[in-house]
C-alpha cells in the first residue's frame, strides 16, 4: 500500500539542488500570493506557465507550481488574521476568529496555530496521497471511453455545484468553457470549428492565453476598482510559537480539519474553500464553548486552516491518478503537464514515475520549508503587505503580456488574452465563478473524445453510459446529485416565499 521504494526515489529527485531551489521559490511565491489579497494561486501559476515551458525538466516545473498552490494556503491565513481580508478564498472563515484573536493581542498565537495546523494537515494529506494514489491509478486503468465521459460529467457537475454561490451561473460558465474548448481543430475528424475565417483561430485556443486572460488580466482589472491599500493592524506580532495550552486546545481541531480537508479535497470542486467552511461548522458543533466562536476561539483558526491544507494535498489525487483536475489551480498544473508532453492520468505513475514521486516527495519537503517560512519568518510576509498595489498591478500586467507572447511569439494571443481579461472582469462583477469555465476548457477535449469514441464503439447506442457498471454508477451519482440540488433549491425558494408572504401579511 505504501510504495517506499517509489517515495525514496522521489526524494532523491526532489532533493537535488535545482529542485530544492525551485521548490523553495514556489513555496515563497505561494506564501507571497497567499498573503497579498487579490492575486490567487491560480493566477500566479497561470503567469508562470510560459516560464515553466522554458524549464527543461517537467518535474522541476511541477514542483514550482505545486509549491505555489499549497504555499498559498499557508499564506492566506496571514491577511485573514491581521487585516480581516482573506488573502486566499480558502481563508475566508479564518477571518472570523483569527482577527478577533489578533485584536485581543494574540495575533502571534493565531498565526502560529495556523502554520502548525497547516503543516500537520499538509503532511496527513500527503500520506493519504502517497497511499491512495497508486491503487487508484491501477483501478483507473480499467476505465474506457464511457467511464471517462461519465467521470468528466460527474466531475464538472460537482465542480459547478460546489464551488460558486449559484449553480446556474456555475453551470453556464462550465458550458462556455466546453464551447471554448471546441474551438479550433476537431480532435477526431480534423475539421476546423468556429474560426470565422480568422487564420489564427484555426488552431485550438491556447490554455495559457485563456488562463492568463481570465485569472491574470481579469483579476487586475477587478482590483483596479478598489483604490487605496488596506492598512495593517498595528498589533505587534510576537510569540508565534503557541503555548502548550493553545496546542492542547487546538490539537483535535487540527486532526478533524485534516480528515475533513482530505476527504473533501478529493471531490472535484470540493477543494480548500468548501473544506474550511465545513471544518468551521464541525468545530463549532464539537466545541464545549461554542459561544466563543466569533470572538477569538483558537479552534476556529486551527480547524479551517488545517482543512484547506489537507484539501490542497488531496486534490492532487484525482489529478495525478485520473487526469481530472478538481479546481482552477490543479487545472493549471494539468496544463503544465500537458505542455511538457505528459498526460496526467492512470498511466502517469507507470510511464512517468519520476514525475509522480518527485512531485509527491517535493511536497513533503515543501511542507517543512513552509513551516519555517511561516513561523520564524512571518515578519517578512507582514512587511509584504506594505507594498502598494498601485505598483504591483502594472508589473503583473507586464508579466502576463510578455509571458503570453513568449508562448507562441504571436501578437494575436495578446489580443485574445485581453478579450478574455475583459470577459473575466465582467464575469467577476456579475458574480459568475470562472473556475468551472477553466475546468471545463481542460476537460472538454477529454469529454468530447470519450463521448464520440464510446458512441462509435457502441454503434451509436447511448445506453452504454448507463449499462456499464462503473460508468452507470458514476452517471447515477451525477443524476442523483442534480436531482437532490434541484429539490433543495426548490425547498429553499418555497421557504423564502413563505417568509416573504408572512412579512407582507404583517
Sites for another protein among residues 8-37 (CB under 8 A): none
Question: Could you tell me the three cell numbers for 172?
Answer: 453556464
Contact call for residues 365 and 14 (beta carbons, < 8 A): yes
Among 127, 401, 477, 479, binds another protein (CB under 8 A): 401
409 makes contact with another protein (CB under 8 A): yes
Residue 244 parent element (H or E): helix 244-266
Q: How far apart are CA 22 and CA 65, in angstroms?
A: 9
439 makes contact with another protein (CB under 8 A): no
What SS3 state is found at 185? Answer: strand
DSSP symbol at 192: E
C-alpha distances in Å from residue 403, one per residue of 19, 409, 503: 22, 10, 56
433 makes contact with another protein (CB under 8 A): no
Among 390, 476, 496, 498, binds another protein (CB under 8 A): 390
Shortest Å, Cβ 350 to another protein: 30
Among 17, 56, 285, 391, binds another protein (CB under 8 A): 391
Q: Name which of 385, 75, 31 is nearest 231 in CA terms.
A: 385
Q: How far apart are CA 262 and CA 270, in angstroms?
A: 10
Sites for another protein among residues 449-488 (CB under 8 A): 451-452, 455-456, 460
Sites for another protein among residues 32-71 (CB under 8 A): 51, 54
Sites for another protein among residues 68-107 (CB under 8 A): none
Shortest Å, Cβ 460 to another protein: 6
341 makes contact with another protein (CB under 8 A): no
What SS3 state is found at 459? Answer: coil
Binding track, positions 173-212, relative to another protein; x by CB under 8 A: --xx-xx--x---x-xx-x-xx------------------
Q: How far apart are CA 150 and CA 159, in angstroms?
A: 14
Residue range at the interface with another protein (CB under 8 A); choices 150-158, 165-173, 236-244, 328-336? 165-173
Q: How far apart are CA 78 and CA 85, in angstroms?
A: 9
Q: Name which of 441, 455, 458 is nearest 213 in CA terms.
A: 441
Question: Could you tell me the three cell numbers for 367?
Answer: 511542507
What SS3 state is found at 499? Answer: helix
Which one, 180 or 359, has the nearer CB to another protein? 180
Which one, 255 or 401, has the nearer CB to another protein? 401
Contact call for residues 124 and 257 (beta carbons, < 8 A): no
Residues forming the site for another protein (CB under 8 A): 51, 54, 168-169, 171-172, 175-176, 178-179, 182, 186, 188-189, 191, 193-194, 217, 220-222, 224-225, 227, 390-391, 393-395, 397-398, 401-402, 405-406, 409, 411, 414-415, 418, 421-422, 425-426, 429-430, 432, 447-448, 451-452, 455-456, 460
Amino acid at each position: 500500500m505504501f510504495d517506499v521504494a517509489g517515495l525514496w526515489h522521489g526524494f532523491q529527485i526532489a532533493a537535488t539542488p535545482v529542485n530544492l531551489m525551485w521548490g523553495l521559490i514556489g513555496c515563497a511565491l505561494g506564501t507571497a500570493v497567499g498573503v497579498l489579497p487579490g492575486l490567487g494561486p491560480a493566477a500566479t501559476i497561470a503567469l508562470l506557465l510560459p516560464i515553466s515551458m522554458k524549464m527543461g525538466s517537467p518535474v522541476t516545473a511541477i514542483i514550482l507550481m505545486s509549491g505555489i498552490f499549497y504555499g498559498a494556503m499557508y499564506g492566506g491565513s496571514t491577511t485573514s488574521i491581521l487585516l480581516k481580508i482573506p488573502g486566499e478564498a480558502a481563508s475566508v472563515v479564518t477571518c472570523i476568529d483569527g482577527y478577533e484573536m489578533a485584536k485581543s493581542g494574540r495575533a502571534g498565537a493565531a498565526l502560529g496555530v495556523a502554520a502548525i495546523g497547516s503543516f500537520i494537515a499538509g503532511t496527513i494529506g500527503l500520506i493519504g496521497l502517497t497511499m491512495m494514489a497508486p491503487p487508484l491509478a491501477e483501478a483507473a486503468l480499467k476505465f474506457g471511453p464511457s467511464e471517462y465521459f461519465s467521470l468528466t460529467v460527474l466531475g464538472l457537475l460537482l465542480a459547478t455545484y460546489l464551488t460558486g454561490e449559484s449553480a446556474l451561473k456555475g453551470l453556464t460558465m462550465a458550458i462556455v468553457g466546453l464551447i471554448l474548448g471546441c474551438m479550433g481543430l476537431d480532435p477526431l475528424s480534423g475539421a476546423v470549428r468556429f474560426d470565422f475565417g480568422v487564420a489564427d483561430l484555426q488552431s485550438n485556443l491556447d490554455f495559457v492565453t485563456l488562463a492568463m486572460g481570465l485569472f491574470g488580466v481579469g483579476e487586475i482589472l477587478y482590483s483596479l476598482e478598489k483604490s487605496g491599500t488596506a492598512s495593517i493592524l498595528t498589533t505587534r506580532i510576537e510569540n508565534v510559537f503557541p503555548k502548550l495550552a493553545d496546542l492542547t486546545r487546538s490539537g483535535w481541531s487540527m486532526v478533524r480539519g485534516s480528515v475533513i480537508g482530505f476527504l473533501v479535497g478529493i471531490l472535484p470542486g470540493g477543494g480548500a474553500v468548501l473544506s474550511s467552511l465545513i471544518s468551521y461548522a464541525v468545530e463549532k458543533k464539537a466545541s464545549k464553548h461554542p459561544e466563543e466562536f466569533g470572538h477569538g476561539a483558537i479552534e476556529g483558526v486551527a480547524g479551517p486552516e488545517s482543512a484547506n491544507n489537507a484539501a490542497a494535498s488531496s486534490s492532487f489525487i484525482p489529478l495525478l491518478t485520473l487526469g481530472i483536475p478538481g479546481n482552477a489551480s490543479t487545472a493549471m498544473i494539468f496544463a503544465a503537464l500537458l505542455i511538457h508532453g505528459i498526460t496526467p492520468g492512470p498511466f502517469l505513475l507507470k510511464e512517468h514515475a519520476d514525475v509522480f514521486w518527485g512531485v509527491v516527495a517535493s511536497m513533503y519537503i515543501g511542507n517543512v520549508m513552509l513551516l519555517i517560512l511561516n513561523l520564524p519568518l512571518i515578519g517578512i510576509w507582514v512587511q509584504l503587505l506594505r507594498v502598494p498595489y498601485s505598483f504591483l498591478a502594472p508589473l503583473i500586467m507586464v508579466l502576463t503580456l510578455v509571458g503570453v507572447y513568449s508562448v507562441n511569439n504571436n501578437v494575436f494571443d495578446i489580443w485574445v488574452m485581453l478579450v478574455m481579461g475583459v470577459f473575466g472582469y465582467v464575469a467577476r462583477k456579475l458574480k459568475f465563478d470562472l473556475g468551472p469555465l477553466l475546468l471545463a476548457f481542460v476537460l472538454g477535449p477529454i469529454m468530447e473524445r470519450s463521448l464520440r469514441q464510446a458512441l462509435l464503439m457502441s454503434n451509436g447506442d447511448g445506453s452504454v453510459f448507463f449499462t456499464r457498471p462503473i460508468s452507470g454508477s458514476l452517471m447515477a451519482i451525477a443524476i442523483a446529485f442534480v436531482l437532490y440540488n434541484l429539490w433543495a433549491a426548490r425547498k429553499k425558494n418555497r421557504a423564502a416565499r413563505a417568509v416573504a408572504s408572512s412579512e407582507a401579511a404583517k
